[in-house]
Structure 1
């Protein structure tokens, strides 16, 4: 299916590694122009060696970083057609093992740049009638334990998805969220290595994933994201779409 994304300019925060990298690469395959907002320059340049795009090697720590990224993308290509808010990390700042300052910092680094990028990209998205996709997490639905800051941010991302979808209806800007569960990325692999027997831990997890008893791939997340960015998803907005092999909602007994 041709998603009609050729030469469309899409911003992707955290677009050089893991799920973000898969999104960037899938966009290149569709002829789009990814703008990778990610400080990991080596990984980003490996992706962009495959096609036309831009890397902005910046960590989104304050509003000015997002404003600079949007302005740089627009200066380079003269338009912005979509935004994928993706950057973030589960930092295990919990209720018992954290503190108010650490909680605030966790929410700040996992949530605020989602708003900042959308705010500064909005004038350009109005012109292009573009699309926003927020990457959240199943932890916002199920809880996990020991990670209050991350989960608070992920839950807020889902709420903002609906809020922005409502606010931006007059401009025909669609806003949706994609919710992964267990996705095998380099970061996930490093987490597994912390266990005495990583293979046994991986099997314990995959045995609980109903569809195929396997992890979701980053490419499967990317396929949904890129579809939502395209005009083929022209009447989909305000939705929370789970790409998780049934992990979040189906009975584990299955």
Structure 2
């Protein structure tokens, strides 16, 4: 299926690793131009080189997304290089385990900035371009805003905010035919997830314990499966879909996990 994404310029925050990398690669394979924004130069450069080796085109900017000045500079670099922005994937964030019992007010506020504030900042910065091209925004969210996890108040609250902003922006931007949706992730095996699993003394057993509770096929969601949904939501193939929270999680968030 042609997604009509050829030559579309899509900003992907955190687009050089994990789910973000998967989205960037998938965009390039569809003929789109991912503009990758990340703070780690080596990872960003490596992802761009990977895309170019596959015959694709990608742009890049290095930015700490909690810094509004760096966010503005990065968007400016995207416009200077490609002269258009057709879509935004807000993806960057980290489950930083800022809990209620053992966290602090300062840590909680920092977690909100790391995981939510830049979603608003980036959307506001690209909005003039999205108005021109009737673009789309896809926010990446987490099961924690629906299921809870324990010990991660900051991250859960930020993801609740992502869900609310998805609906709010869908309403506010409707007059411009700008669609806004979110993809909710549960258990997706990324390098970051692999690192977390290996903090346990028995990583294989821990992983098996998790996957047995994923109803569909008892396996982790892949980065490609997340990317496929993101690309669909960015494309005109989903031209009458907005304000939706779509769960790509093998039924983890809503189905009986004893299945």
- Report Cα offsets for 1:147-185 as digits up to 9, x if no partner: 001111000000000000000000000000000100000
CA distance in 1, matches of 2:40, 2:190: 15
Alignment partner of 1:115 out of 105, 116, 120: 120
Q: Secondary structure of 2:89's match?
A: strand
- Does structure 1 residue 142 correspond to structure 2 residue 147? yes
Q: How far off is 1:7 after superposition?
A: 0.5
Q: How far off is 1:237 after superposition?
A: 0.1
2:59 aligns with: 54
- Structure 2 unmatched ranges of 5 or more: none
1:4 aligns with: 4
2:169 aligns with: 164
1:32 aligns with: 32
CA distance in 2, matches of 1:47, 1:145: 33
Q: How far off is 1:200 after superposition?
A: 0.3
Q: Secondary structure of 2:142's match?
A: coil
Q: Which runs of 4+ in 1 moved over 6 A?
A: none
2:216 aligns with: 211
- Does structure 1 residue 237 correspond to structure 2 residue 242? yes
CA distance in 2, matches of 1:222, 1:68: 26
1:177 aligns with: 182
Verify the 8 A CA contact 2:170 2:178 in the aligned structure 1.
yes
Q: How far off is 1:15 after superposition?
A: 0.2
CA distance in 1, matches of 2:231, 2:71: 22
Count of residue correspondences: 254
Alignment partner of 2:200 out of 186, 189, 195: 195
Structure-2-length-normalised TM-score: 0.96
